Amino acid sequence: MRILGVDPGSITLGWGIVEGIGLRYQGVAFGTVKSAPKQPFSERLLKIYDDLSAVIERFEPDVLSVEEAFYAQNVKVALKLGQVRGAVLLLGEKSGLTIAEYSPRLIKKTVVGYGNADKEQVQEMVRILLKLKKKPQPHDAADALAIAICHFHHSGISDKISNAAQRS
């Protein structure tokens, strides 16, 4: 299974590809989609859509794993993040990918073991889990890899529950 993890952001969106079977996985690639803050928001959404579409075309993932929306004190930021997530989810659907969404707290708890882990802790655990020489940079890309890793851990549990339900 090949998973595209996405950490949504309107200025910097992180993406990471992880592949494997069961709980054995490895990093394939990671990066960011950067937009200019002064660029009209609709143009930023188009850039995100187009650049992420190229990532999907190049790496052919099976699953799109996305960070869920979280509580933000700034309503404008929350709305923009929601629009970015909408563009990403639409792209995933149009590309025929299975879509999974995880809360930031669950991602950190799964990868680091602590739901309030900071960016440095997430980067270091991603480095260790994927056996990388250096921490993935920037943190947006490390977060995207963490989101993909989270899906590996939780999709296995979902499969076991589903299989058990079918047997009974």
Tell me, what CATH number does 16's domain have?
3.30.420.10
Cα Rg of the chain (Å, integer):
16
Stretch 85-98: mean pLDDT: 97
Q: pLDDT at position 76, please?
A: 85
Active-site residue 50, yes or no?
A: no
- Indicate the number of domains in the chain: 1
The boundaries of the domain holding residue 70 are 2-167
Q: Exactly one of 43, 60, 62, 140 is catalytic; which is it? A: 140
Q: Which amino acid is at 93?
A: E
Active-site residue 118, yes or no?
A: no
| pLDDT, greater one: 103 or 76 | 103
Predicted model pTM: 0.90
Stretch 42-55: mean pLDDT: 97
For the chain, what is the mean pLDDT? Answer: 91
Q: Exactly one of 51, 67, 93, 124 is catalytic; which is it? A: 67
Is pLDDT of 158 > 60? no
Q: pLDDT at position 82, please?
A: 92
Active-site residue 140, yes or no?
A: yes
Q: Which residues contact 89 (CB under 8 A, 6 or more apart)?
A: 64, 66, 99
